[in-house]
Protein backbone atom coordinates (compact mmCIF):
# COMPACT_ATOMS: atom_id res chain seq x y z
CA UNK A 1 0.00 0.00 0.00
CA UNK A 2 1.35 3.39 -0.90
CA UNK A 3 1.01 6.50 -3.00
CA UNK A 4 0.74 6.27 -6.77
CA UNK A 5 4.18 6.33 -8.31
CA UNK A 6 5.93 5.15 -5.14
CA UNK A 7 7.44 2.08 -6.87
CA UNK A 8 5.33 -0.44 -4.94
CA UNK A 9 5.41 -2.90 -7.82
CA UNK A 10 9.18 -2.61 -8.26
CA UNK A 11 9.73 -3.10 -4.52
CA UNK A 12 7.38 -6.09 -4.51
CA UNK A 13 9.16 -7.70 -7.44
CA UNK A 14 12.58 -7.14 -5.88
CA UNK A 15 11.40 -8.49 -2.52
CA UNK A 16 10.01 -11.62 -4.17
CA UNK A 17 13.25 -12.10 -6.09
CA UNK A 18 15.43 -11.74 -2.99
CA UNK A 19 13.26 -14.15 -1.01
CA UNK A 20 12.93 -16.63 -3.86
CA UNK A 21 9.16 -16.14 -3.84
CA UNK A 22 6.64 -15.77 -6.63
CA UNK A 23 5.32 -12.28 -7.36
CA UNK A 24 1.67 -11.64 -8.16
CA UNK A 25 -0.15 -8.41 -9.00
CA UNK A 26 -3.90 -8.71 -8.45
CA UNK A 27 -4.72 -5.82 -10.79
CA UNK A 28 -2.80 -7.51 -13.61
CA UNK A 29 -4.53 -10.83 -12.93
CA UNK A 30 -7.97 -9.21 -12.93
CA UNK A 31 -7.19 -7.34 -16.16
CA UNK A 32 -6.06 -10.57 -17.81
CA UNK A 33 -9.12 -12.49 -16.62
CA UNK A 34 -11.59 -9.85 -17.77
CA UNK A 35 -9.61 -8.84 -20.88
CA UNK A 36 -9.88 -5.12 -20.05
CA UNK A 37 -7.63 -2.57 -18.31
CA UNK A 38 -8.15 -2.45 -14.54
CA UNK A 39 -9.86 0.96 -14.60
CA UNK A 40 -12.35 -0.31 -17.19
CA UNK A 41 -12.96 -3.45 -15.14
CA UNK A 42 -13.86 -1.33 -12.11
CA UNK A 43 -16.02 0.95 -14.25
CA UNK A 44 -17.84 -1.92 -15.98
CA UNK A 45 -18.41 -4.08 -12.90
CA UNK A 46 -19.05 -1.41 -10.32
CA UNK A 47 -17.43 -1.42 -6.92
CA UNK A 48 -19.34 -4.31 -5.32
CA UNK A 49 -18.78 -6.77 -8.17
CA UNK A 50 -15.19 -5.67 -8.64
CA UNK A 51 -14.49 -6.34 -4.96
CA UNK A 52 -15.97 -9.84 -5.34
CA UNK A 53 -13.62 -10.56 -8.26
CA UNK A 54 -10.67 -9.16 -6.34
CA UNK A 55 -11.58 -11.30 -3.30
CA UNK A 56 -11.80 -14.42 -5.50
CA UNK A 57 -8.34 -13.71 -6.93
CA UNK A 58 -6.91 -13.23 -3.43
CA UNK A 59 -8.54 -16.48 -2.30
CA UNK A 60 -6.76 -18.33 -5.10
CA UNK A 61 -3.42 -16.69 -4.36
CA UNK A 62 -3.57 -17.75 -0.71
CA UNK A 63 -2.78 -21.28 -1.91
CA UNK A 64 0.77 -20.20 -2.74
CA UNK A 65 3.38 -20.57 -0.04
CA UNK A 66 6.13 -18.04 -0.47
CA UNK A 67 4.42 -15.31 -2.47
CA UNK A 68 4.55 -11.54 -2.55
CA UNK A 69 1.16 -10.18 -3.58
CA UNK A 70 0.66 -6.65 -4.85
CA UNK A 71 -2.96 -5.55 -4.55
CA UNK A 72 -5.05 -2.64 -5.64
CA UNK A 73 -5.96 -0.07 -3.00
CA UNK A 74 -9.45 -1.53 -2.54
CA UNK A 75 -8.06 -4.80 -1.16
CA UNK A 76 -6.42 -3.18 1.85
CA UNK A 77 -9.68 -1.47 2.79
CA UNK A 78 -11.69 -4.71 3.00
CA UNK A 79 -11.30 -6.37 6.41
CA UNK A 80 -12.10 -9.82 4.99
CA UNK A 81 -8.85 -9.57 3.00
CA UNK A 82 -6.68 -9.22 6.09
Report the pLDDT value the prediction gives residue 7, as an integer from 0 to 100.
81
CA angle 13, 42, 6 (to 5 degrees): 35
Reading the chain (82 residues) residue by residue, the pLDDT tens digits are 666 777 888 999 999 999 999 999 999 999 999 999 999 999 999 999 999 999 999 999 998 899 999 988 778 777 877 6
Domain membership of residue 3 (yes or no) is no
Domain membership of residue 54 (yes or no) is yes
* Domain limits for position 69: 8-81
Domain total in the chain: 1
Report the pLDDT value the prediction gives residue 45, as an integer from 0 to 100.
96
**How long is the chain?**
82
Report the pLDDT value the prediction gives residue 1, as an integer from 0 to 100.
64
Domain membership of residue 1 (yes or no) is no
CATH number of the domain that 17 lies in?
A: 3.40.50.300
Domain membership of residue 55 (yes or no) is yes
pTM, rounded to two decimals: 0.85
Report the pLDDT value the prediction gives residue 28, as an integer from 0 to 100.
95
> Chain centroid to CA 19: how far?
19
Amino acid sequence: VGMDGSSKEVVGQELAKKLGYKYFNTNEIISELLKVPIDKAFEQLGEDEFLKVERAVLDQLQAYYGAVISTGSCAALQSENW
